[in-house]
Every structure is written in C-alpha cells, then in structure tokens.
Structure 1
Amino acid sequence: MHGAPVLGWLLAALTGAAGLYCLARVWRPATGAGCAGAAQRGAAGRESDAAEALMGLGMAAMALPLARHGGLPPTAWAAVFGGVGAWFAAGALRRSAARDRAHRLHHALGAGAMVYMALAMAVGGTAGPHGTGHSGMAGGPPLPLLTGLLLVYFGGYALWAGSGLLRSGGVAAASGGRTLLLAPGLARECRLVMGLGMFAMLLTG
C-alpha cells in the first residue's frame, strides 16, 4: 500500500482477524446467520462465512508490507477472486429470492473489486514507492470512474454496517466460546471491517 508501512500492517491485522473469525464460523452449528448477515442456515450460511473468510484473508495478504502480495503474483490473486466472483454471480442468477440474490451479488462485487485491484497492481508493478509493500494502482487508478463507484459502494456498505452495529449496542456478553462465535454483534463488526478494508485498499492502493 502507499503510505507508512504501519498502515499496511494495521489493515492486514484487521482484515486478517475478520477473515479468521469468519473461517471459524464455517464450522459453527447449522444455526444463525453468516458473517455477511444474511438470514441463512446450514450450507448457505457456511457459504457466506467461507466467502468472507477468503475475502478477509486475501485482503490481509495483499495489504502486508514486504509480503509481495502474500507470496502470489497479482495475476494469481485475480484468478482466485475471479473464480469466486463467477461462483457467486452464477449463484445469484440461480436464486429467485431477493435476499439471496442481493447477498450473492454483494460477494460477487467484492470479488470483482479484488480482481480489479490485483490487475491494477499487475500493471503498476510489484513494489511500492520505496521498494516495499505493493504498489497498488501506481500512478493512479486505471479506471477512475470505476474506482469512484466502488469507493461509494463500499463506503456506503461500511456506514450501513456501522449503523447496524450502533443500533444493536455492539457485542452482547457471551457465556461461552460457541455463544461468542455466533454473536450477531461480532458478525456485524466483521461486515464493518470488510467494508472499511475494501474502501481503504481502493483509496490508498
């Protein structure tokens, strides 16, 4: 990322923690909503958690200073998230329920944004202005209008997730690890971190 390396480490820590949390929820009991907040159960909820886990861990790897995109070239990241985006876009077309469709389209859009950033990094190079970190959209975003639209979407998503967290009063006290893992407040915090992480990567890439 552009800017002080500490910003890259901070973003990597936040998105990585959110990704690990969603990964842990993949193995939760077949009740409750996924990290994306969709009121789904069983396999559909785990699909949501798996997508959020991949997104968070992918953002963390790409944000790490000195990590050279988590050990993968930008084109490999583009291929990974391109497959994820295609999966959710196809899923959105197969589902008739509006809530399911919106849920999968959000994941498809997030994966598409990751592909866009990865391809921009591939064009811009692999080293930042001081030889460390990733260059992101070196020299400016290749498609300023698309970057702006994505910033508006993910900025609005982060505001929506944050307002929902405030309305709920944050994470309620939990009596055990399983209860804490399924706490709605933590799922809302996960959505907030994901939205802020994507916004930050688009803005500072």
Structure 2
Amino acid sequence: RKRYLLLLFLFLLSAYVFLTIERAHSVSYLMGIFEMKNDKLPIFLVQPYMYIANNYENFNLLTQNIEEHSHGFRMAYPFLTLSGAKFFFDFPLAYPVYLTKEELSTLGILYDAYYDFGLLGVMLFSLILGLLSSWIKELSRKEKNPFGGALYIQFAFYFLFSFFTTWFSNASSIFYFAVTLVLAVLWKGFVHEKNSAVSI
C-alpha cells in the first residue's frame, strides 16, 4: 500500500509540474496575484499552498458577506442541467460568487452547501457524504464490484482535491459519478442473478 501511495504522489507531482510549465505563468505574475510578503519562496511551494489556502479565504468571505441563501438551487444545479429542467422552468440559478480575487477562483467542496442552507447545509451535506462513502467502500471491497472500485477512486479523487472546486454541484463530475453508479448497480444485479442461477 505504501508503494502505491508513493507512486500516486509521484504521479500527482509530475502532473503538477507539467501543468505549471504548460500554463507558462511568470513567477513575478503569480507572486503579484498571491501578494506574497516573502518573494524569495520557491514557486512550487507557494502555488499549491495558495490554491489550498485561498479556498478557505473565499469560504470565509462567503460566510461574512452572503445576503441570501440559495435554498438548494446551487447543489441542485447539475440535476437541473442534466435533466433539462432548467430549459423548461425558470429557476433562480444566478447567484453571486464571493471571491477574494477574480484570478483565485477555487471554492472548496463545502462552498455550495453553505450557500444553500448555511451551517445546517454543511452538516447535512457532510452526513450524506459520510453515508455514501461507507456504502461505496462496502460495494468495492465486500462485493468485489469493479465499478464499485471505480466509484471509490472517484470519491477519493474528489476528497483529495476537495479544496479545488465544488465537485458535488458540478454537472460534469455528477454525470461521471451517475454513469459509474448505474454500471455498479447493473453489475451487482447481473452477478447476483448469475450466482442464483448457478446455485439452482
């Protein structure tokens, strides 16, 4: 397991270095955006720190300045989009995003939960994620469901990068998750029926 974690760390580190080079932002530009007091720090330390820390700054800004909660519409956005409901009904989906700086737009996984229902929304969302995580863990280990393993990996990825965006109110990530979930349920039903037929 330690070897796999090391390989994962090296892969993520390589991906980070590659993406940093591809974006081709100058060090002085990034230091200016981050407003670093100590400009002698190496950029490969400053950049990940700022991306992680800034989502908490944005979350703090939200809690201090929010005028009206979105009452579930931000978290429901992917479902309204994927179902096509937003094209037939007029939902209030345009809510301001509170950012410390326009360039630093990382929001964090709890941002929309708080936006919808405040502290209660964060607590309920955390409870649902915990229950879902437990179910996925059982599905991937106990039943040896390959798509359960894929769900486990997706969840692990979302939690690992929970500082980066609101994964569970993002239409793309919900779509991928839903497709994998359907395949996991179909696999479970198929294997169960096959095993029942063999036992008969």
**Does the pair score TM above 0.5?**
no
Structure showing greater Rg? 2
In the superposition, the TM-score normalised over structure 1's length comes to: 0.28
Scaled by the length of structure 2, the TM-score of the pair is 0.29
